[in-house]
């Protein structure tokens, strides 16, 4: 398995899933759901943090079972709006025509998710706007995750064709099963199964439809602004994958290499060897992630230094203080005092 075989996605892709689970079965069940997947509950408040795509797929499947709803993924998707996709969603909605919005989605999907393909395919007098995710380590069809993608795709098109528009048919990347008719009834359009990806069929003559209504000036996002926020380099490497996963697990104060390897679906030895090949080390990535999060917490929260140390996985606050002084040349308290000092 190479870095290219491990896809990442932003936490904002779960949309309203946490709220819908809590509403159905309570906060305790939501916490247990996240714990079973070794996923920090704190990620709910960190929409731009990235998580392994397979963990997201598992989250949708487990949530569906938790609430006892085989169409849970569809419900999550229907509750999502452009706002759930942050700046990337606003960038798509800033396109002058529907065709250009769909092209933008394909060119910049990496902002939201790696290892995925978004595009258009012609089929007689229709164009199918499709999404194909990278499949990795487990045998799950990812039905719930696939179902949840349908409505956000429809939402993109509705920005140009109006709030009641529906595709002429929907395509799904898993085989038909019990409840397939119910899915068609919920969508109100035919559903074609066992397709290469998730897709919605748009009459081709509608692709040049202009944005309706035109976005407000404050909502419009240019490509330059998008790249300024997320960076133009979306190359894949094990260092990037591991760094992202370390940052995610650090929300729970976990730094062990075995847990990180398990979340990425590789052996500990494979992880270490791949980092060595790129001139990186796990220990350094943990240190850098701890430093970044420590600085953010000291700047943005009122938590005590002891609380911050414990949240970063330090059993002794003194060890955190020594590490922070090594990173910055200041103690945590001195660093925070400097932030409070008035400018000269």
CA terminus-to-terminus distance, the chain: 54
β-strand pairing of 50-52 with 170-171: unpaired
Note the residue count of the chain.
344
Start-end of CATH 1.10.10.60 domains in the chain = 238-340
Do residues 150 and 187 lie in contact, with contact meaning Cβ atoms separated by under 8 Å? yes
The pLDDT of residue 220: 83
Do residues 144 and 72 lie in contact, with contact meaning Cβ atoms separated by under 8 Å? yes
Task: Classify residue 89 as left (phi > 0), alpha (psi -120 to 50) or beta.
Answer: alpha
**For the sheet containing 170-171, what is the strand order?**
116-123, 126-133, 198-203, 170-171, 191-192
Do residues 60 and 20 lie in contact, with contact meaning Cβ atoms separated by under 8 Å? no
CATH of domain 238-340: 1.10.10.60
The pLDDT of residue 134: 75
The pLDDT of residue 4: 52
- The Cα 149–Cα 130 span in angstroms is 10
The pLDDT of residue 182: 81
The pLDDT of residue 109: 93
The pLDDT tens digits of the residues spanning 179-225 come to: 667 888 999 999 999 999 999 999 999 999 998 765 554 578 888 99
The pLDDT of residue 10: 93
The pLDDT of residue 233: 57
Q: Which residue, among 162, 152, 159, has the nearest Cα to 131 in the 3D structure?
A: 152
In 201-304, alpha helices (H) = 223-230, 238-249, 257-264, 268-277, 282-300
The pLDDT of residue 180: 66
- The Cα 135–Cα 132 span in angstroms is 9
DSSP codes, 146-169: HHHHHHHHHHHHHHHH-TT---S-
The pLDDT of residue 1: 47
pLDDT tens series, the chain, 344 aa: 455 578 899 999 999 999 999 999 999 999 999 999 999 999 999 999 999 999 999 999 999 999 999 999 999 999 998 788 889 998 998 999 999 999 999 999 999 998 899 999 999 899 999 999 876 555 456 899 999 999 999 999 999 999 999 999 999 999 987 766 788 899 999 999 999 999 999 999 999 999 876 555 457 888 899 888 887 655 668 898 899 999 999 999 999 999 999 999 899 999 999 999 999 999 999 999 999 999 999 988 889 999 999 999 999 999 999 999 999 999 999 998 887 765 54
The pLDDT of residue 214: 54
């Amino acid at each position: 398995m190479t870095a290219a075989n491990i896809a990442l996605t932003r936490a904002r892709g779960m949309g309203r899933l946490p709220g819908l689970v809590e509403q159905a079965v309570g906060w305790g069940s939501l916490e247990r759901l996240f714990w079973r997947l070794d996923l920090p509950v704190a990620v709910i408040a960190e929409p731009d943090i990235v998580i392994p795509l397979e963990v997201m797929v598992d989250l949708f499947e487990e949530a569906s079972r938790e609430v006892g709803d085989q169409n849970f993924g569809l419900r999550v998707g229907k509750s999502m709006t452009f706002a759930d996709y942050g700046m990337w969603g606003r960038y798509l909605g800033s396109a002058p025509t529907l065709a250009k919005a769909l092209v933008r989605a394909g060119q910049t999907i990496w902002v939201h998710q790696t290892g995925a393909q978004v595009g258009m395919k012609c089929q007689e007098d229709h164009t199918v706007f499709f999404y194909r995710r990278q499949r990795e380590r487990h045998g799950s069809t990812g039905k719930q995750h696939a179902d949840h993608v349908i409505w956000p795709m429809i939402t993109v098109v509705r920005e140009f064709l109006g709030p009641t528009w529906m595709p002429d048919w929907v395509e799904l990347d898993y085989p038909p099963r019990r409840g397939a008719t119910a899915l068609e009834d919920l969508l109100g359009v035919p559903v074609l199964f066992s397709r290469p990806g998730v897709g919605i069929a748009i009459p081709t003559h509608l692709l040049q439809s202009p944005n309706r209504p035109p976005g407000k000036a404050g909502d419009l996002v240019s490509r330059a602004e998008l790249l300024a926020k997320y960076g133009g380099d979306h190359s894949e490497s094990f260092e990037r994958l591991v760094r992202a996963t370390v940052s995610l697990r650090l929300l729970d104060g976990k730094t062990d290499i075995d847990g990180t390897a398990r979340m990425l679906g590789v052996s500990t030895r494979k992880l270490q060897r791949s980092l060595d090949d790129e001139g990186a080390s796990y220990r350094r990535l943990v240190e850098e992630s701890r430093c970044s999060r420590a600085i953010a917490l000291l700047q943005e929260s009122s938590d005590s230094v002891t609380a911050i140390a414990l949240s970063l996985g330090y059993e002794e606050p003194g060890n955190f203080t020594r590490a922070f002084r090594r990173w910055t040349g200041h103690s945590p308290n001195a660093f925070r005092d400097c932030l409070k000092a008035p400018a000269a």
